[in-house]
Amino acid sequence: MSIVVAPEVAAALERRGAVVALESTIICHGMPYPKNLQTATEVEAIVREAGAVPATIAILDGVPHVGLTSEQLKRLAISGRQFQKTARRDIAHVVASGGNGATTVSATMFFAHKVGIQIFVTGGIGGVHRHGEQTMDVSSDLTELGKTPVAVVSAGVKSILDIPRTLEYLETQGVTVAAYRTNEFPAFFTEISGCQVPCRVDSPEECAKIIYANKNLHLGSGVLIAVPIPKQHAASGKTIESAIQKALKEAEDKRIIGNAITPFMLERVKELTGGSSLESNIALVKNNALVGAEIAVALSNLQQGEKKKMGRSAL
């Protein structure tokens, strides 16, 4: 498969520099234009300011791209839902048909790993849907984390999902789940979920050590680093939960299922909360980008330091 890697990204990877992968579904399917373009541009700027290189991933005219120009970002933002929401299962079809794909978590992880990017930042990953024990509706994000050694920085999982079952599924997949500066798994719009995590990390350096060990042990699975939404942006959990329950009922009545349910739910919850959920979404994505970039820098420093040690020991 031919993958176009932006020169800046390729140069950073060559020198083992800090690189952060970013998805494109959030641009095309997560926010309206021009808010989506503004957010995408600001997120890339946050990554740069922290000392890392951003690599937004998408499929353009059948060709996977890792790292986009400002014009390509604008094309994604304006095209919006004209770009197909692309998970791992959809990659072959979109590429073969010369189509345009906005990559989800699973597809972004796949391409990031293909080119050697170890850190990926998103808003929230998918998971086991509520009533998933009956519908078998489980996001491919979880199985991707089980087989692709990329570290994903997210605000936990979307609160529209079944969080306890999602964590159980991640355990089954052998995924290391760590919460950043907390003992509780965050629930996207809110800092708390009532679910404890098996691992807590309190600095970018601690995160980097886990990612480095995961790679060197060849575990073959990913790492999920869950970062709580900043306190000042956390929407009221009760208000959000009430909106979620109402939206879930509407989705059930309208028979909305599969990968159509998440965009429907997010849009409906945004409407029911007067837009506060969208602002919270943007805030947590930016915060994740900062933390992810700091982890990428720490990982780069760790790897380069270990390389120097090995060089000295060989003398």
Minimum mean pLDDT range among 75-79, 149-153, 224-228, 304-308 = 304-308
**Could you give the CA distance from residue 141 to residue 127 in angstroms, rounded to a whole number?**
7
Residues labelled as active-site residues: 23, 158
Asked whether residue 214 is assigned to any structural domain, the reply reads yes
Instruction: Report yes or no: 293 and 46 within 8 Å, Cβ to Cβ.
Output: yes
Asked whether residue 254 is assigned to any structural domain, the reply reads yes
Asked whether residue 167 is assigned to any structural domain, the reply reads yes
pLDDT digits (tens, 9 = 90+) for 218-263: 999 999 999 999 988 876 666 777 888 899 899 889 988 776 777 7
For residue 161, how far is the Cα from the chain centroid?
16
Range among 45-54, 129-138, 232-241 with highest mean pLDDT value:
45-54
Asked whether residue 226 is assigned to any structural domain, the reply reads yes
Question: Given this model, what pLDDT does residue 236 score?
Answer: 66
Q: What is the pTM of this model?
A: 0.92
Nearest to 160, CA basis, from 64, 57, 247, 30: 247
Higher-scoring residue by pLDDT: 69, 277:
69
Question: Given this model, what pLDDT does residue 290 score?
Answer: 98
Q: Which helix (H) or strand (E) holds 60?
A: strand 53-60
Asked whether residue 227 is assigned to any structural domain, the reply reads yes
| Residue 269 pLDDT class (50, 70, 90 cuts) | confident
**DSSP per position, 118-146:** -EEE-S-B--BBTTHHHH--B-HHHHHHH
Q: Which helix (H) or strand (E) holds 7?
A: helix 7-14
| Residue 312 pLDDT class (50, 70, 90 cuts) | low
* Averaged pLDDT for residues 72-92: 97
**What is the residue range of 247's domain?**
4-310
What are the structure tokens assigned to 267, written together? 């849009």
| Residue 160 pLDDT class (50, 70, 90 cuts) | confident
Q: Residue 311: pLDDT above 70?
A: no
φ, ψ dihedrals at 162, nearest 5°: -90, 100
Q: Residue 315: pLDDT above 60?
A: no
Nearest to 101, CA basis, from 59, 142, 133, 49: 59
Q: Residue 103: pLDDT above 90?
A: yes
Asked whether residue 187 is assigned to any structural domain, the reply reads yes
Widest pairwise Cα distance in the chain: 70
**Could you give the CA distance from residue 262 to residue 155 in angstroms, rounded to a whole number?**
16
Asked whether residue 315 is assigned to any structural domain, the reply reads no
Q: Could you give the C-alpha distances from 297 to 34, 118, 203, 304, in angstroms and in order?
A: 30, 11, 12, 11
Range among 28-32, 60-64, 133-137 with highest mean pLDDT value:
60-64
**Could you give the CA distance from residue 302 to residue 308 in angstroms, rounded to a whole number?**
10
Count the domains in the chain: 1
Question: Given this model, what pLDDT does residue 40 score?
Answer: 98
- In the block, residue with structure tokens 């970018």: 204
**Could you give the CA distance from residue 234 to residue 100 in angstroms, rounded to a whole number?**
34
Exposure b/e, 207-228, CB count within 10 A at least 16 = b: bbebbbebbeeeeebbbbbbbb
37 Cβ neighbours under 8 A, 6+ residues apart: 27, 73, 74, 77, 78
Q: Could you give the C-alpha distances from 45 to 37, 237, 258, in angstroms and in order?
A: 12, 30, 33
Instruction: Report yes or no: 159 and 188 within 8 Å, Cβ to Cβ.
Output: yes
CATH number at residue 280: 3.40.1790.10
Asked whether residue 265 is assigned to any structural domain, the reply reads yes
